[in-house]
A and B are shown apart, each in its own frame.
Chain A
């Protein structure tokens, strides 16, 4: 595994290692399956999604397993990134200036590191939602084994599971928008791993400075 934050040939910078990219796509594929089958169970108007994906009984059977895969990849993300996702003073300044960010006036933003405050919010939002989804999901997986005296667990689970899922859907929509539409080069970086110097300078100036300044300690 090569460390991130290193210059690679042709004036490009390595942003995501192979492990980070692989894990991202495991999470992405499992999440999209969970999202589609979950939406089918969420509303009768979307039940047809489950029919397309092999029938609702199949969706019911595979949804929990896909959930385990997704949670596993979120745990690995925690191992990879939790240390880099800590809230800093720069992040608080970033949130104060977020209106410039959302109106594409990035030059007025305080310089972001490898991850800006919005990306950190996405990470922690997904992490905590995944935890609540797992806990409530286990209850919903085996409702018949929850005894009548512990039925409050089921009552809680049917509320927590969709609420946490809705939160992730909001985060996911913004994540897709940023990666596919707002920042060209972002999708490429999570496939091939590298970004242009201009990309790094523009969106993560503090991170870029660290790398070219040579003060960077290779991250694991």
Chain B
């Protein structure tokens, strides 16, 4: 993979054309997370901090195997833990590596007003460009996965980059490299889907997980991170993974119909007032003494 993969195909808050759109063969990268073989070792969490030089923060112990309640601006990769009691009374420890999902249609990018603060590369990676970020936090509202996190000191928002810097050089993301069980895979979206579907079929046919399946939510156009789940009908069990995530409808309404309606109304209003002035003019054309000069001596 060359730098070609880092051509830009979507830009937030951008008025003109997009430089990389449609200039190369389709090649979308994807991370596959097999929750059924994750042991919750946190090697991916450490690798993420290592590669991205993230400062250390305090962890929060809550009697589970989870490092902290949710991701932070300086902690982009977090394994969420859930002790799930099944109908037959047995327990399951569900581990899900949580990070940016790299949506094909990102809500953060749609909500962002700043030119170039959020971009989507031709390889599908959604990346924040902090030097263009204005700190408004609209991306936080646009994201259906609760991923963008605000740094109160720098007033900028941060999240997982899918190691765009590594991927651009033909390497796999740091978390993939660190995983000891092979539950993380990285490759093209097609290959990862194939691998995931095969694993899900194996779980259904041979491991007594009749509801096993692949999580690749179409409500956001599919994601650059897909999961294999023991029970694809209940993704909520895995640390609140939304069943059918969408960009919030109010964000769509705001950036779609309301924007058009508002623009038409504002421009129409200006034209209307101008035409009114040409048609009728000021109210007091025939009465000179109404004007400010009035009866001043």
Q: Is A61 an interface residue (CB 8 A)?
A: yes
A196 touches B294 (CB 8 A): yes
Chain A 78-105 interface 0/1 with B at a Cβ cutoff of 8 Å (1 = within):
0000000000000000000000001110
Q: Is A197 an interface residue (CB 8 A)?
A: yes
Q: Residues of A contacting B15 with CB < 8 Å?
A: 44-45, 47
- Known contacts: A41-B113, A177-B277. The answer to whether A140 contacts B262 by CB under 8 A is no
Q: Of B140, B253, B280, which is within 8 A of A143 by CB?
A: B140
Q: Is B177 an interface residue (CB 8 A)?
A: no
Smallest Cβ-Cβ distance to B272: which chain A residue: A173
Q: Of A12, A106, A155, which is within 8 A of B250 by CB?
A: A155
Q: Residues of A contacting B149 with CB < 8 Å?
A: 144
Which of A102, A169, A177 has its CB near the most chain B CB atoms (within 10 A)?
A177
B135 touches A158 (CB 8 A): no
Q: B54-62, B76-84, B198-206, B285-293: which lies at the A interface? A: B285-293
Q: Residues of B contacting A163 with CB < 8 Å?
A: 258
Within 8 A of B (CB), among A135-190: 140, 143-144, 148, 151, 154-159, 162-163, 166, 169-170, 173-174, 177, 181-185, 187-188
B294 touches A199 (CB 8 A): yes
Q: Residues of B contacting A157 with CB < 8 Å?
A: 141
Query: Which secondary structure dominates chain A's binding surface?
Result: helix
Q: Is A42 an interface residue (CB 8 A)?
A: yes
Which of B111, B258, B294 has its CB near the most chain A CB atoms (within 10 A)?
B294
Q: Is B155 an interface residue (CB 8 A)?
A: yes
Q: Residues of B contacting A158 with CB < 8 Å?
A: 111, 138, 141, 250-251, 254
Smallest Cβ-Cβ distance to A172: which chain B residue: B269
In the assembled complex, the CB of A169 is this many whole angstroms from the nearest CB of chain B, namely: 6
Q: Residues of B contacting A103 with CB < 8 Å?
A: 280
Q: Residues of B contacting A196 with CB < 8 Å?
A: 289-292, 294-295
Smallest Cβ-Cβ distance to B13: which chain A residue: A44
State how many residues of chain B have any CB contact under 8 Å with chain A: 52
Q: How far is the CA of A139 from the CA of B113 in the complex (A)?
A: 17
Smallest Cβ-Cβ distance to A46: which chain B residue: B15
B141 touches A10 (CB 8 A): no
In the assembled complex, the CB of A186 is this many whole angstroms from the nearest CB of chain B, namely: 9
State how many residues of chain A have any CB contact under 8 Å with chain B: 53
Q: How far is the CA of A148 from the CA of B98 in the complex (A)?
A: 15
Q: Residues of A contacting B113 with CB < 8 Å?
A: 40-42, 44, 47
Q: How far is the CA of A143 from the CA of B135 in the complex (A)?
A: 10
Q: Is A57 an interface residue (CB 8 A)?
A: yes
Q: How far is the CA of A83 from the CA of B14 in the complex (A)?
A: 47
In the assembled complex, the CB of B8 is this many whole angstroms from the nearest CB of chain A, namely: 15
Chain B 262-277 interface 0/1 with A at a Cβ cutoff of 8 Å (1 = within):
1101100110010011
B137 touches A144 (CB 8 A): yes
- Known contacts: A144-B137, A155-B250, A199-B290. The answer to whether A11 contacts B262 by CB under 8 A is no
In the assembled complex, the CB of B246 is this many whole angstroms from the nearest CB of chain A, namely: 11
Q: How far is the CA of A102 from the CA of B277 in the complex (A)?
A: 11
Q: Of A144, A155, A181, A199, which is within 8 A of B277 by CB?
A: A181
A56 touches B137 (CB 8 A): no
Q: Residues of B contacting A41 with CB < 8 Å?
A: 113, 136
Q: Is A119 an interface residue (CB 8 A)?
A: no
Smallest Cβ-Cβ distance to B280: which chain A residue: A104
B134 touches A60 (CB 8 A): yes
Within 8 A of A (CB), among B241-263: 248-251, 253-254, 258-259, 262-263
Smallest Cβ-Cβ distance to A139: which chain B residue: B141
B289 touches A143 (CB 8 A): no
- Top 8 A-B residue pairs of the complex, sorted by shortest distance between their CB atoms: A196-B294, A188-B292, A143-B137, A144-B150, A184-B291, A44-B15, A56-B134, A154-B141
What would 5 A/B residue contacts be, using CB atoms closer than 8 Å? Answer: A140-B136, A154-B141, A173-B270, A177-B277, A184-B284
- Which residues of A approach B to under 8 Å, CB–CB? 10-12, 40-45, 47, 50, 56-57, 59-61, 102-104, 106, 140, 143-144, 148, 151, 154-159, 162-163, 166, 169-170, 173-174, 177, 181-185, 187-188, 195-199, 202-203
